[in-house]
Structure 1
Amino acid sequence: MTSFPPDVVAAILHHMNDDHTDDNLTIARAFVDPAATAATMTDLDTEGGTWDVVVDGGTRTQTVPWPGPVVERADVRRAVVALHDAAVERLGLPAPEAH
């Protein structure tokens, strides 16, 4: 596992939790628990993203592996999009129009 600099992680988390709350929940429902009612991305590294997922009033932390290699910051966006696309497919939701 390789970590990104703290400022990079903070920027990505800010973006995901401010602009992509629905995407966080879709990923959580597909890969953590279908009964999830909320999800907040709390960390990430080259291996996967970590979310705090609310289910039945309790919160659990779960890391979801990236579906492909993540080495650089730019890879994170591609990995999140691929993870979201896989989540949409797994849940049988309509495909998003554009990322």
Structure 2
Amino acid sequence: MTVRSWPWFHWRLGPTVNRRSFRPVPSVDSAILRIERRPEPLVRGRRTYQELVEPGFSGLGGSVRASLRMRHRGVDAALAAAGVSRDAVVGYVHPDQWIALWQRLYW
């Protein structure tokens, strides 16, 4: 969800909430997540950005590179420009790197 909404919303971790504030007491502390609309979106093409991100999270191919190469040309150059390893799995690609990938593949 973070990657899908990152161009339009800023996600920030707020203050923590001690586990003892809850009943029953969970095994971990909690925190407040603050989501704020950006004054200006980081990308203008919502549809094309979503089309880029969806295959990356499909799991097809086993890596972001393999998933994106099914639909796009120039993926290796885009990954290099975004600082993403060729064998990176989606969980290790920062939302800002998805923005950089979109810029390289759609601009």
TM above 0.5: no
TM-score, normalization: structure 2?
0.30
TM-score, normalization: structure 1?
0.31
Is the radius of gyration larger for structure 1 or structure 2? 2
Greater strand share, structure number: 1
